[in-house]
Amino acid sequence: MQNKETEKVHCLIIGSGPAGYTAAIYAARANIKPVLYQGIQPGGQLTITTEVENYPGYADGVQGPEMMIDFEKQAKRMGADIRYGLATKVDFTGPVHKVWIDEEKLIEADAVIIATGASAKWLNLESEQRLNGYGVSACAVCDGFFFRNKEVAIVGAGDTACEEALYLSKLCSTVHMIVRKDENGMRASKVMQDRVKNAANIKIYWNSETVEVIGEHRVEGVKIKSTKTNEEQIITVNAFFVAIGHEPNSAIFKDWINMDEAGYIKTIAGSSKTNIAGVFAAGDVQDKIYRQAVTAAGSGCMAALDAERYLGELNAG
């Protein structure tokens, strides 16, 4: 590959959600001159979230995109170099880590912080995408509060779907759970299945798939179809939660970094360190459990502190 340009940096941050921006804030304050590339979705998943009420410091709540602008402004004020661009290839063979941006520019970095996040899996319905943020959500913990004492629907059959259905059942009057297969085909663990089945206000629709989310400007219902009889019905709901999993944005690192079977980057317990010295991971790309803005920001702080120590030891050596 012919490189049009090569640049050497101390600390490269890949990704620009709460993890990436927080890492940039801490790294800039530590004077390790971070360069951050924002990736395919500057600001990360929060840019497709409307109201955020559970992030500390925003007493009246904040719009997701506005919060990410605040994060970016703070990182820039501290001196971080924020750039547009997508990491497309890496080579972590030697002590100098090589990352290609937009397939042409080569960055050689002493330390790399991976904060590329994860993307929610969707059903790929036109109505689902159109109403995303207007009652359609991929995070019950983030958005369930807005539908207190209302009827909602959730689609999914794994442990995460069950956990989110149970979470919603504590807030909402009724939770309509749409499961594509029968009871024997449900992927969730037995204990989670039992909890969902025993919840008085969770109604499960077995052998059912979502046809369409109903509503012009906000969610008003969901049309489902029996996978056995093709019979359709409309359920009146105020929100539609998609809980069919997330996919970590880690593909370009798979030949170098240790990951679990789902592609989440493995970090050494109690740190942000990966199996490659000088490469750190933060946020949803390495967290399949919590997936919250505040936990991502916390791990971004950890990654910057770990990178600062690594670079200090490197220079001392």
Phi, psi of 222 (to 5 degrees): -140, 135
pLDDT of residue 1: 45
Alpha helices in the chain (DSSP H): 18-29, 64-78, 126-130, 140-143, 159-169, 190-198, 293-316
Q: Is the pLDDT of residue 254 over 60?
A: yes
> 271-312: per-residue pLDDT in tens?
999 999 999 999 999 998 888 999 999 999 999 999 999 999
More confident position, 2 or 156: 156
Annotated active-site positions, please? 139, 142-143
Q: What is the pTM of this model?
A: 0.82
Exposure string over 44-60, b if 16+ CB within 10 A, otherwise e: bbbbbbbebeebeeeee
pLDDT at 23 over 80: yes
Distance of alpha carbon 101 from alpha carbon 239, whole angstroms: 39
Tally of CA atoms within 13 A in the half-sphere of 186 that contains its CB: 28
> Rounded CA gap, 308 and 11, in Å?
9
Residue 317 has pLDDT above 80, yes or no: no
Roughly how many angstroms between the first and final C-alpha of the chain, as a whole number?
32
Which of 71, 86, 88, 75 has the alpha carbon at shortest distance from 41? 86
pLDDT at residue 111, as a whole number: 98
Residue ranges, CATH 3.50.50.60, the chain: 5-119+246-316, 122-242
Q: Which fold has domain 122-242?
A: FAD/NAD(P)-binding domain (3.50.50)
Q: What is the pLDDT of residues 39-59, one digit of tens each?
A: 877 777 777 666 788 899 999
2: pLDDT strictly greater than 60? no
Which superfamily does 5-119+246-316 belong to?
FAD/NAD(P)-binding domain (3.50.50.60)
State phi, psi for 283 to the nearest 5 degrees.
80, -160
pLDDT digits (tens, 9 = 90+) for 134-145: 999 998 988 999
Q: What is the largest CA-CA distance in the chain?
A: 70
